């Protein structure tokens, strides 16, 4: 049997697993076994197995083929991976799947399908406005939210309009419907794209004089929407109610305001793991502050190509103040990645493209090719494939307070998995963007599989 045929048969076997799992986690009998593969736990570099067993919605065990196949019973669906790679399902630390899918002509159902086809099993929903929660609960109760969704309730809007502490009507960090949870409060520290306006983002006194005329035309003279004291009060109020904050900060002035406000906000806010989103422009003096205030930066590597569309915004010698993924990785304990989809570059939702972008100084992923010009990433700013994958699995789970359940593969954790065509840790950098997702599982159930590999029906 050829390797391809073997995989087709195997994956068709897995189709049967779309039915609800019957085997309880407490049982030592697996409901699903994936073996003969490369199972990357994402816990510690080098912790790699060949097989994984699932019981119901949870991981039962990881080990050798022999160890794991011994857990099979008469009802177990056994899948030969034929050398394919299993990773924890990808977690998108910054997306707008529910709110903004219509912007690119997709329904919620289509956006969910697209995310799952990219191996995304969890996503932060970064702007939830008053009235949205109930709508999303109805969707979740109807089974239409298939990728776990973590809601960030908006303190203010992208034009700077203030909603206030309406989020207090909800309980933080709890699941409120199937695969739907309340994750935190979103605060725009600066204005973003507002209606038909172009982004108006401030960069601080250091960077503003460096802008080219083309760059300056895109960036207004806005200042952050809050003083450090006022923002600290907002963060503290959220923390007192148990909510982490996620702060939109693209320019260095907003990053500075966010980080110093967090320092003022105190230990309770730090313990709740605040997030700083975008971080496109970061000065040297700000890099140590993230860890100091307990903040996790969330970056959007593919989306960041849009910076280049502003054309010669900064002289080349200042390229290292932009897209500092490598510097952020070196100076922070936790660094997460997101897509900001559907804002930004087409294809930004794909973690595989994001991976290719993070590890490549050439920045030639297919998604970026459709945005021009897309300048090369500074060679100093690439990160290792291991770190890039952590940014989309373990560290993203940490950012969402889900590291006990998601983001790494270990017995007892939720069985959110993705099967990739090759091992991204050994794939040559130039070929990373060609990796494809074969199967995506949430709660131990197949939510998506590659139609080209498995014939319909
Ligand atoms: Zn966003």
Strand order of the β-sheet with 51-55 is 58-63, 51-55, 30-35, 72-80
pLDDT value, residue 62: 98
Q: How far is the CA of 224 from the centre of ligand 1 (A)?
A: 17
Could you give the CA distance from residue 146 to residue 152 in angstroms, rounded to a whole number?
18
The pLDDT of residue 97? 97
Q: Which two tokens stand for residue 295?
A: 């903040």
How many CB atoms neighbour CB 278 within 10 A? 26
**Cα of 192 to ligand 1 centre, how many Å?**
9
Tokens of 455: 């014939």
How close is the Cα of 340 to the center of ligand 1, in Å? 5
Nearest to 117 by CA among 149, 89, 95, 82: 89
Task: Please name the residue ranges forming H helices in 360-410.
Answer: 366-369, 385-392, 394-399
Ligand 1 centroid to Cα of residue 178, in Å, is 24
The Å distance, Cα 439 to ligand 1 centre, comes to 27
Q: What is the per-residue pLDDT for 451? A: 75
Helix segments in 294-441, DSSP class H: 325-331, 351-359, 366-369, 385-392, 394-399
Distance 61 CA to ligand 1 centre (A): 36
pLDDT at 356: 86
Backbone conformation region of residue 299, classed left if phi is above 0, alpha if psi is from -120 to 50, else beta:
beta
Q: How far is the CA of 451 from the centre of ligand 1 (A)?
A: 30
Whole-number Å distance, alpha carbon 152 to ligand 1 midpoint, is 11
Provide the residue ranges of all domains of the chain, joining segments of one domain with +. Answer: 3-88+408-449, 90-399
State in Å: Cα 215 to ligand 1 middle.
21
Q: Decide if 188 contacts 248 (C-beta within 8 A).
A: yes
Task: State in Å: Cα 333 to ligand 1 middle.
Answer: 23
- Distance, CA of 219 to CA of 97 (rounded, Å): 27
**Topology, domain 3-88+408-449:** Urease, subunit C; domain 1 (2.30.40)
Q: Rounded to whole angstroms, how far apart are CA atoms 365 and 347?
A: 9
Tokens of 10: 């195997």
Q: How far is the CA of 198 from the centre of ligand 1 (A)?
A: 15
CA of 167 to the centre of ligand 1 (A): 18
Ligand 1 center–CA 35 separation, angstroms: 38
CA of 99 to the centre of ligand 1 (A): 10
Beta bridge partners of 173: none
Question: What integer pLDDT is reported at residue 11 of this predicted model?
Answer: 42
The pLDDT of residue 414 is 98
Neighbours of ion ligand 1 (CB under 5 A): 126, 340
Q: Which CATH number fits domain 90-399: 3.40.50.720, 3.30.1360.120, 3.20.20.140, 3.30.70.270?
A: 3.20.20.140
Q: What is the pTM of this model?
A: 0.90
Q: What integer pLDDT is reported at residue 315 of this predicted model?
A: 59
What is the distance in A from the centroid of ligand 1 to the CA of 94? Answer: 6
The answer to whether 183 and 150 are in contact (CB under 8 A) is yes
Residue 152 three-state SS: strand
Distance 73 CA to ligand 1 centre (A): 46
pLDDT of residue 251: 83
Q: How far is CA 273 from CA 159, 185, 293, 382, 390, in A?
A: 25, 12, 9, 25, 17
Cα distance between residue 258 and residue 80, in whole Å: 48
Query: How far does residue 366's CA lie from ligand 1's centre (Å)?
Result: 21
CA 189–ligand 1 middle distance (angstroms): 12
pLDDT tens per residue, range 336-389 = 999 999 886 667 899 998 898 888 866 554 444 444 445 556 777 889 999 999
> Is it true that the peptide bond before 431 is cis, omega within 30 degrees of 0?
no
Return averaged pLDDT per consecutive 10 residues of the chain, 457 residues in all.
39 40 56 97 96 98 98 95 97 97 93 97 97 97 97 92 96 96 96 62 68 65 85 98 96 92 96 95 93 96 56 57 88 96 80 88 50 57 94 98 98 98 94 92 96 51
């Amino acid at each position: 049997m050829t390797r391809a045929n073997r995989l087709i048969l195997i994956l068709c076997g897995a189709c049967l697993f779309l039915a609800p799992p019957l085997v309880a986690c407490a049982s030592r009998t697996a409901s699903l076994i994936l073996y003969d593969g490369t199972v990357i736990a994402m816990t510690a570099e080098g912790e790699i197995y060949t097989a994984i067993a699932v019981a119901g919605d949870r991981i039962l065990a990881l080990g050798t083929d022999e160890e794991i196949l011994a857990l099979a019973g008469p009802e177990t669906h056994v899948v030969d991976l034929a050398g394919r790679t299993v990773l924890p399902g990808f977690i998108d630390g910054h997306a707008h799947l529910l709110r903004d899918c219509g912007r690119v002509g997709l329904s919620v159902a289509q956006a969910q399908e697209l995310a799952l086809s990219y191996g995304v099993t969890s996503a932060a929903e970064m702007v939830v406005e008053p009235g949205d929660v109930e709508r999303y609960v109805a969707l979740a109760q109807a089974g239409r939210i298939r990728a776990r969704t973590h809601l960030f309730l908006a303190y203010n809007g992208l034009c700077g309009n203030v909603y206030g502490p309406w989020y207090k009507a909800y309980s933080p960090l709890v699941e409120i419907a199937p695969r739907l949870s309340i994750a935190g409060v979103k605060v725009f520290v600066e204005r973003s794209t507002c209606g038909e306006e172009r982004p108006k983002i401030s960069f601080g006194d250091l960077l503003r004089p460096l802008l080219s005329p083309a760059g300056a035309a895109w960036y207004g003279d806005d200042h952050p929407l809050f003083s450090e004291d006022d923002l600290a009060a907002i963060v503290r109020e959220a923390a007192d109610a148990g909510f982490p904050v996620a702060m939109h900060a693209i320019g260095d002035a907003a990053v500075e305001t966010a980080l110093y406000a967090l320092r003022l906000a105190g230990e309770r806010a730090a313990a709740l793991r605040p997030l700083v989103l975008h971080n496109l422009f970061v000065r040297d003096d700000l890099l140590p502050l993230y860890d100091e205030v307990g903040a996790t930066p969330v970056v959007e590597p593919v989306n960041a190509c849009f910076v280049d569309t502003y054309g010669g915004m900064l002289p080349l010698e200042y390229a290292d103040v932009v897209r500092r993924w490598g510097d952020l990785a070196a100076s922070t304990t936790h660094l997460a990645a997101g897509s900001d989809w559907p804002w930004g570059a087409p294809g930004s939702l794909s973690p595989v493209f994001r991976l290719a972008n993070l590890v490549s100084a050439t920045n030639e992923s297919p998604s970026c090719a459709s945005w021009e010009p897309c300048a090369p990433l500074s060679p100093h700013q690439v990160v290792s494939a291991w770190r890039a994958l952590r940014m989309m699995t373990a560290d993203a789970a940490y950012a969402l307070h889900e590291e006990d359940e998601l983001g790494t593969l270990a017995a007892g954790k939720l069985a959110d998995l993705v099967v990739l065509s090759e091992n991204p840790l050994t794939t040559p950098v130039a070929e990373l963007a060609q990796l494809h997702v074969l199967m995506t599982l949430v709660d131990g159930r197949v939510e998506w599989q590659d139609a080209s590999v498995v014939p319909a029906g």
